[in-house]
């Protein structure tokens, strides 16, 4: 399948509607029915303000965070429409990719709830 890899780059302390922005993005991906999103915690980085962001032992609010998703053209349009409607301020990278699934799902994924 062809589509895009979307990477949203933020820091742990950035929030949207009182929730950490990275967590909010993951929940919006679920809400929109996207196939998945991965939240990756970084050690150190810097953004357009040229300030170093890093994870500190006692304070993680400045820890760099990346949220990665593989989406179709339609899914990307729906997600960006939602982000614009919510007036979300976040840096992103949108890269054309081919994606898919190989092999059979794990036994736990095939099992029905309650069995």
In degrees rounded to 5, what are phi and psi of residue 80? -65, -35
Task: Please report how many Cα atoms fall inside a 13 Å half-sphere around the Cα of residue 86, on the Cβ side.
Answer: 16
Taking the chain, what is the end-to-end CA distance rounded to the nearest angstrom?
33
Which has more confidence, 82 or 112?
Answer: 82
Q: Bigger pLDDT: 82 or 15?
A: 82
> Which pLDDT value is given to residue 29?
97
pLDDT digits (tens, 9 = 90+) for 93-110: 999 999 999 998 876 666
3 state DSSP class of 77: helix
Q: Can you give the pLDDT at residue 46?
A: 60
- The DSSP secondary structure of 9-60, one letter per residue, reads EEETT-EETTEEHHHHHHHHHHHTT-S--EEEE-SEEE-TT--EEE--SS--
- Statement: residue 112 has pLDDT above 70: no
Tens of pLDDT, residue by residue over 15-60, are 899 999 999 999 999 999 999 999 988 655 566 665 554 555 455 5
Complete domains list, the chain, with CATH: 8-47+54-98 (3.30.70.120)
State residue 43's pLDDT score: 57
Which residue's structure tokens are 């949108």? Answer: 94
| CB 73 within 8 Å of CB 4 | yes
């Amino acid at each position: 399948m062809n589509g895009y890899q979307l990477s949203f780059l933020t820091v742990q302390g950035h929030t949207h509607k009182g929730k950490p922005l990275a967590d909010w993005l993951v929940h919006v991906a679920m809400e929109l029915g996207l196939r998945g999103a991965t939240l990756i915690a970084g050690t150190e980085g810097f953004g357009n303000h040229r300030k170093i962001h890093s994870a500190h032992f006692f304070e993680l609010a400045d820890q760099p965070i990346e949220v990665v998703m593989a989406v179709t053209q339609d899914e990307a349009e729906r997600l960006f429409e939602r982000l614009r409607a919510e007036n979300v301020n976040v840096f992103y990278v949108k890269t054309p990719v081919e994606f898919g699934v190989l092999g059979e799902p794990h036994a736990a994924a095939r099992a029905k709830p309650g069995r």
